[in-house]
Amino acid sequence: MVTAVIGERVRVLYLKAATSDEAVRWLLRALDDGEREPARAWARALPSTHVARVLRASIEDDDARDLRETLLDLRAEAGARLRLLRVSATLASTLGLLGGILALAGGAKRAGLDALRAGGAERTTMAEALATMAIGVATSALCFQALALLRPAAQKLIVQSEQIARALGDADGLR
């Protein structure tokens, strides 16, 4: 499940909704010069990007309320499922530790006295406990690493969208 969430967020934040810094600078210059038609054409060519959605909300709808709603929606979309990754990271390490403790406690009960004396049950129990803890820690590390990569991408989308909205002159009172 965690890898599916990470894959979906990477696809959206880096591929589908992202806009290059160069394109944002070009759009900001075009809007500052009053050239809305090239910006409109750009937004039609790349409709899934956050910046294009802001441009369409402002240029095509000419309603400041729609632009504010669009920015709020984009902010929510950019941060979607990042909290799930944070919670998953915390739960994975906790559940891995709990699973290790339960494996150690259950291992002594499963083995008979003769098996304990021979040491075979201890090795098996330790291997199960360490494997459980390793899976929990690895999942947690994967989630934290993904968060370290995805949070800046989400923040970048938000900043770019707000820059374009300010350049359009329709974003007064958004904060």
| All structural domains of the chain with their residue ranges | 2-81+159-168
As a residue count, the chain comes to: 175
Tell me, what's the pLDDT at 112?
A: 58
Tell me, what's the pLDDT at 159?
95
**Pair 30, 62: CB distance under 8 Å:** no
Model pTM score: 0.76
pLDDT digits (tens, 9 = 90+) for 52-103: 999 888 877 656 668 888 899 999 999 999 999 999 999 999 999 999 888 8
Phi, psi of 80 (to 5 degrees): -60, 135
pLDDT score recorded for residue 172: 37
Residue 125 has pLDDT above 60, yes or no: yes
Q: What is the pLDDT of residue 78?
A: 92
- Dist CA 169 CA 67 (whole Å): 11
